[in-house]
Amino acid sequence: MNTLLSAGIIFTLLAIVFCLYRWGNLKCVGVTPVKTFTFIAILFTSGLDVGLIMFPLTEFAGYADTATSPEYAFSNPLAIEFAYWGFLIWGFYFLTSFYFCVIEPRVGFFEIPVVKWINNVVIIGTCAFTAYLLLTNLPWYLPQLSEEGSIVATFYVIVFAVIMAAVFSSTDIKYVRILSLASTWLFLGLIAVMWVLAAMGPNEMLDAANLIGNYFVNIHNFVLPLNDYHAFYLFWWFAWSIMIGQFTSRFVGGLRTWQVLAALLIFPSIPLAIWFSVLYFYHNNGLDSSGFVGISMVVVGITFVINSLDSLIRLYTDNLNLTTSRVGRAKYIIGNLVALCALTMLFKLNFLEIQWVGALVIGLYFSCFAYILLKKRKEVAAIQSSPEGRELNFEKIESVH
């Protein structure tokens, strides 16, 4: 599996370089373009889920234990956490966003019936995995509701309610922008509150920045999987990449190709770096993260989950033509609710693994490339602009959303 993963990463990086070389100055316009801040907010909150909020505090100690995991000895826990979430791996999202904005309309690979079916299996499976992550991490952050760290009935009810809220919000496209912006501001607010409560000064933040700087010195070491846990993260990013590209590509608002890449690498990485720095300060100083802090993190994490699921449910139901206008609101809600709850339990029972979903996505990458070479080489070679008929009318689109 890791050999396939390494091949997928190398292919992705080469494809990014080629796109920059061939179409670096091309203006990218999606089918419903929005202004840059809204685009970044949609991308950031759709592309990151509850793991961003709940994983780091449970992982720092493992990254620091170089006796058990000597492969981490070249860096520090904060830089490793940042490497698993930030900067370079956002190139996955750039490649798929650019592909679905500019290339796919000329190629139509994802309109092939078997590819469309596989693509939607990936989307539905990853939605369920997101809900599963929330379920498994709630005991750590809400110990007062748990019994010795176990998953109790209350947590199942919380996850059911989250899935229900996401399914309901997906019935109307206007919630996408509202949830994306709300998630962004809630996340920034959480960072500010935890920073103040920790009494973290500018010197401590500078120390954290120096630690994160070690990532950029050792960035080449993070390209291929360090171990199975790093591979898990990379498969997870691949699993998200195609569906996030499909969703966010429609909102690109006239940025040039190199600007899209720069935006995806830089803008999400800044709040990530600050967030991880604050969490690492809590970890290093043994600060209490239960009570108000833990509840606040759960609330923001739940908002992230609802926002992510909302976007992806709408994506796969549109792809399968299972919209509310076609099947009715009641059937739409019940069908999605049953499917996602069932798949969440399959992840809980270890019948499904996100690595399998990521491997399936890598297979789609290679299949799409082969299809272009065999059948659509001339069409792709002739690309000089975004598809015709796309106009920048922010006032109209912002008012709709």
At 338-371, the pLDDT tens digits run 999 998 998 888 777 899 999 999 999 999 999 9
Tokens of 286: 């043994």
**Looking at the predicted structure, is the pLDDT value of residue 248 above 60?**
yes
**For residue 398, what pLDDT is reported?**
45
State how far the Cα of 318 lies from the Cα of 173, in Å rounded to an integer. Answer: 11
Residue 53: band (very low, low, confident or very high) from pLDDT cuts 50, 70, 90: confident
State how far the Cα of 384 lies from the Cα of 92, in Å rounded to an integer. Answer: 22
Angle at which helix 113-141 crosses helix 56-64, to 10 degrees, equals 80
Contact (CB, 8 A) for 107 and 380: yes
pTM assigned to the model: 0.87
**Looking at the predicted structure, is the pLDDT value of residue 395 above 50?**
no
Region 58-69 average pLDDT:
94
Least confident of 71-80, 121-130, 383-392: 383-392
Nearest one of 303, 191, 307, 190 to 248, comparing CA atoms: 307
**Looking at the predicted structure, is the pLDDT value of residue 311 above 70?**
yes
Residue of higher predicted confidence among 328 and 19: 19
Residue of higher predicted confidence among 63 and 394: 63
First and final C-alpha spacing in the chain: 41
Measure Cα distances from 117 to 257, 308, 341 in Å: 29, 21, 20
Nearest one of 91, 100, 94, 93 to 30, comparing CA atoms: 100
Region 210-239 average pLDDT:
95
Contact (CB, 8 A) for 52 and 279: no
**Looking at the predicted structure, is the pLDDT value of residue 136 above 50?**
yes
State how far the Cα of 155 lies from the Cα of 344, in Å rounded to an integer. Answer: 13
Region 183-204 average pLDDT:
89
Region 175-202 average pLDDT:
84
Region 324-350 average pLDDT:
89
State how far the Cα of 359 lies from the Cα of 365, in Å rounded to an integer. Answer: 10
**For residue 80, what pLDDT is reported?**
97
Contact (CB, 8 A) for 115 and 263: no
Average pLDDT, the chain: 88
Angle at which helix 257-266 crosses helix 2-23, to 10 degrees, equals 130
Residue 255 sits at φ, ψ, to 5 deg, of: -70, 145
State how far the Cα of 252 lies from the Cα of 263, in Å rounded to an integer. Answer: 11
**For residue 391, what pLDDT is reported?**
64
State how far the Cα of 43 lies from the Cα of 272, in Å rounded to an integer. Answer: 14
Residue 177: band (very low, low, confident or very high) from pLDDT cuts 50, 70, 90: low
Residue 149: band (very low, low, confident or very high) from pLDDT cuts 50, 70, 90: low
Least confident of 101-110, 379-388, 391-400: 391-400
**Looking at the predicted structure, is the pLDDT value of residue 332 above 70?**
yes
Contact (CB, 8 A) for 98 and 28: yes
